[in-house]
Amino acid sequence: MILRWILYYHQKEILRGLIEYPYVTGTSIIGIKYKDGILMAADMGGSYGSTIRYKSVERLKQVGKHSLIGASGEISDFQEILKYLDELILHDNMWDDGNSLGPKEVHNYLTRVMYNRRNKFDPLWNSLVIGGVKNGQKYLGSVSMIGVHYEDDHLATGFGNHLARPILREEWREDLSFEEGVKLLEKCMRNLLYRDRSAVNKLQIAKITEEGLTVSQPYSLKTFWNFAAFQNPTVGATGSW
Amino acid sequence: MDVPKTGFSFDLCRRNEMLTKKGLKSPGYLKTGTTIVGLIFENGVILGADTRATEGPIVADKNCEKIHYMAPNIYCCGAGTAADTEAVTDNISSQLKLHRYHTGRESRVVTALTLLKSHLFRYQGHVSAALVLGGVDVTGPHLHTIYPHGSTDTLPFATMGSGSLAAMAIFESEYREGLTREEGVNLVTKAICSGIFNDLGSGSNVDVCVIEKGKKEYLRNHLTPNPRTYISSKGYTFSKKTEVLLTKITPLKELVDVVQVGGGDAMEE
């Protein structure tokens, strides 16, 4: 009886120091600044190892009045982070002083949380992207599970680092319109769909501006598979496959 | 007389594994940590490669050649261990030449493909060569990728090496069928540049090779997007105090008769 009580209250301390593994994971997030604010894209897949277990996971969420957070990595840790952020915003509202936390402050808070957990060998297994607009200032920042944080005009997590960043570095501009921004994000998401095994063809795009946040309805991208070489790969070249 | 055992002897592999387990640091390999690409355009095949060869974190060769000659109508890009890619392409290139003499015909890309994949499979992945093979023969243009363990793919566009994801991002978003030569070269250059600037294992210059029916063009250092930034404006020369011994140069050719053998193809590399 006492043993069970000890285990219940001190489980975290007893188990701390052991290596954690992520179980249900989300894949890449892509975020860009555009003319009026921030655009972020994420697909709705939750993989359980090599199975695509969940296909309606919302990985883009609002934080307070001014911010949008997107998470890749362990979904349960993301839900925990949302709980922390909820508490943070609640306490901020209780001050009732007319001021509200902006994306820069939320980013800094999360950086401290992630870094301190990492120092205790008990990380939250996520890569986060925080974006928002406050008082006309656009902000886009990233935090990883070990506390590496920085801000930039365009960000990507997970596989997006390898497949989306080259495209963003080539084609991002300061004055993208909403349509151009969405086209750029879709280009990157299509690439990820082709080449990331944990991607699913059901994505959401979120837009945050000074006016507020809108998250699109889930939709699919069109893919092209009709290359001549795909139809009959070994025509005229028998001996290969 | 003892006939030497054919095939690869794996005895030393067991010894090496045992030594590594005991804590011996195995010698490093010169890897090409690379971006190599190939694509099929309306009239043939275009291959591209960067020119950086790395030895761990150090750039060992700033301007190496990764597009290897296989036959007058077939070229092969190589990623992985530099010695392996060089040796395996040289070997199969020789075999193809002998085969051409034997059959009296132009080499086919599938021949090179089968020779390469059988060789790599026989060595069970220990020959660390990942290749992009492209060429135009009587049956048309062909592009293949070959992995170190011996598997192959036939593709309209392909990338290999550490910078393959960066280059593939460009190809997946911009490749179309029926590209013209100019569009093809531009796309290949763009993909290699994406590898050069986004991957640490790739860098320096862009090499391109265009193969069409009956002709090929090897554009060595087609693009040099990484020039030396600060060059001494005065140039480099001897200090004023240097003693000048002679100012007449005797060309060696006057003393020796140099005979030119064959056309441009002989011993092409």
List pLDDT tens digits, range A1-58: 666 666 566 655 655 555 578 999 999 999 999 999 999 999 999 999 999 999 999 9
DSSP B216-227: EEEEEEEE----
Is A238 contained in some domain? no
Is A2 contained in some domain? no
Is B10 contained in some domain? no
The alpha carbon of residue B253 is apart from the nearest alpha carbon of chain A, in Å, by: 49
Residues of B near A (CB-CB distance < 8 A)? 40, 109-110, 113-114, 139-140, 142-144, 152, 154-156, 165-166, 168-170, 172-173, 177, 190, 194, 197-198
Cα–Cα distance for residue pair B116/B88, rounded to 1 Å: 7
Is A209 contained in some domain? yes
Type of residue numbered B67: I
Is B1 contained in some domain? no
Q: Is the pLDDT reported for residue A133 higher than 80?
A: yes
| Contact at CB, A237 and B168, closer than 8 angstroms | no
Is B265 contained in some domain? no
CB of B120 closer than 8 Å to CB of B88:
yes
Write the CB contacts of A113 (distance below 8 Å, at least 6 apart in sequence).
A81, A84, A124
A183 in B contact zone (CB under 8 Å): no
Is A36 contained in some domain? yes
Is A78 contained in some domain? yes
Reduced to 3 states (helix: H, G, I; strand: E, B; else coil), residue B247 is: coil
Is A147 contained in some domain? yes
Cα–Cα distance for residue pair B96/B68, rounded to 1 Å: 14
Facing B169 at nearest CB: one of A166, A239, A241:
A166
- pTM of the predicted model, to two decimals? 0.81
For residue B209, which phi and psi values (nearest 5 degrees)?
A: -135, 120
The alpha carbon of residue A116 is apart from the nearest alpha carbon of chain B, in Å, by: 30
Q: What is the mean pLDDT of each run of 10 residues along chain B (269 residues)?
A: 64 82 72 86 95 88 93 95 93 96 95 94 92 94 93 92 94 93 96 94 93 94 89 80 86 68 55
Per DSSP (E only), the strands in chain B are 36-41, 44-49, 53-55, 58-61, 67-71, 74-80, 129-137, 140-146, 152-154, 157-160, 206-212, 215-223
Closest by alpha carbon to B67, among B178, B218, B187?
A: B218
- What residues make up the domain containing A80? 23-216
Cα–Cα distance for residue pair A69/B175, rounded to 1 Å: 33
Q: Which residue of B has its CA nearest to A194?
A: B172
Domains identified in chain B, total number:
1
**Which H or E element spans position A223?**
none
Which CA distances in Å does A27 have to A57, A63, A80, A178, B12? Answer: 11, 21, 18, 24, 42
A238 in B contact zone (CB under 8 Å): yes
Residues 9-38 of A with CB under 8 A from B: none
Domains identified in chain A, total number:
1
- What residues make up the domain containing B91? 35-223
Instruction: Give the CATH number for residue A77.
Output: 3.60.20.10
Is A221 contained in some domain? no
A165 in B contact zone (CB under 8 Å): yes
List pLDDT tens digits, range A146-192: 999 999 999 999 999 999 999 999 999 999 999 999 999 999 999 99
Is B191 contained in some domain? yes
Closest by alpha carbon to B175, among B183, A240, A223?
A: B183
Is B240 contained in some domain? no
Is A234 contained in some domain? no
Confidence (pLDDT) at B261: 65
ipTM of the complex: 0.80
Facing A237 at nearest CB: one of B40, B142, B156:
B142
Is B202 contained in some domain? yes
Is B105 contained in some domain? yes
- For residue A233, the chain B residues in CB contact (below 8 A) are 154-155
Is B239 contained in some domain? no
Instruction: Give the CATH number for residue B49.
Output: 3.60.20.10
Kindly state the tokens that stand for B244. 């000048």
